[in-house]
Amino acid sequence: TQLLEQSPQFLSIQEGENLTVYCNSSSVFSSLQWYRQEPGEGPVLLVTVVTGGEVKKLKRLTFQFGDARKDSSLHITAAQPGDTGLYLCAGAGSGGSNYKLTFGKGTLLTVNP
Amino acid sequence: EAGVAQSPRYKIIEKRQSVAFWCNPISGHATLYWYQQILGQGPKLLIQFQNNGVVDDSQLPKDRFSAERLKGVDSTLKIQPAKLEDSAVYLCASSLRGSGRADNEQFFGPGTRLTVL
């Protein structure tokens, strides 16, 4: 069974601060996705990283996939209240030809104005 | 483009009762997924359909859960009988491509929040 550990579990910061959340596993993943989920809604895909060492930027969000494709990080610069939500990482394992997603438990981020 | 639709949004039942959830995926999406998200945890895949065939149901508790996608479009997930530990949000997702790609994007519905008393 492939497991993804996310840290921290909870994070409360002030507007304008920077933060990093982590997603770690002992398993290798074919790709890793980051989602954001708001209360009462389903997760929304932010980014997919596929290549070991890959870095992707989405405005103030920077995503990195570890060289060994076992871990990933999400860095937010100058956080805003609109960034508040549950951040989930999900690894796509290779079960033959079916890349089933395994989700971490998430990091609940609160950005206070 | 309309998103994934789910109903009902909320359901409260007593243990040992039965319940059914409905999902209508994005038009043209061949793959449909049902996930269970218990409070404080990430979504866990219950079952995955490719058109109207089951691709993966390895984590579906088949003694009480069942799902179907008869015409390859919308789907229903049923629990009979429900237990207290089934209290969770049930998410439906769909994707355009099959899951045979590592960069496959899934689009999620808003979920159905089930409370079992």
3-state class of A73 per DSSP?
strand
By the CB < 8 Å criterion, does A2 face chain B? no
pLDDT for A1 equals 64
pLDDT beyond 90 at B2: no
pLDDT, tens digit, for every residue of B18-33?
Answer: 999 999 999 999 899 9
Instruction: Look at B102 and A98 and tell me if their CB atoms are within 8 Å.
Output: no
Count of beta carbons in the 10 Å neighbourhood of residue B10: 12
Instruction: Look at B102 and A30 and tell me if their CB atoms are within 8 Å.
Output: yes
Instruction: Look at B4 and A94 and tell me if their CB atoms are within 8 Å.
Output: no
- Tell me, what DSSP letter sits at residue B62? T
* Mean pLDDT, chain A, whole residue set: 92
Phi, psi angle pair for A92, to nearest 5°? -100, 110
Residue B23: which residues within 8 A CB-CB, separation 6 or more? Answer: B4, B5, B6, B32, B34, B74, B75, B76, B77, B92, B109
| Chain B residues bordering chain A (beta-carbon distance below 8 Å) | 4, 40-45, 48, 55-56, 91, 93, 99-111
Which residue among A30, A41, A101 sits closest to B45, beta carbon to beta carbon? Answer: A101
Residue A39: which residues within 8 A CB-CB, separation 6 or more? Answer: none
Question: Chain A: nearest CA to B38, how far in angstroms?
Answer: 10
pLDDT beyond 80 at B54: yes
By the CB < 8 Å criterion, does A21 face chain B? no
Instruction: Look at B99 and A100 and tell me if their CB atoms are within 8 Å.
Output: yes
Residue A107: which residues within 8 A CB-CB, separation 6 or more? Answer: A6, A7, A8, A9, A10, A11, A21, A86, A87
pLDDT beyond 90 at A113: yes
- Position B96 confidence tier, pLDDT thresholds 50, 70, 90: confident
List A residues 54-83 in contact with B (Cβ-Cβ < 8 A): none
pLDDT beyond 80 at A95: no
Stated length of chain B: 117
Selected residue of B4, B26, B104 to mutate for chain A interface (largest A Cβ count, 10 A): B104
Selected residue of B106, B107, B113 to mutate for chain A interface (largest A Cβ count, 10 A): B106
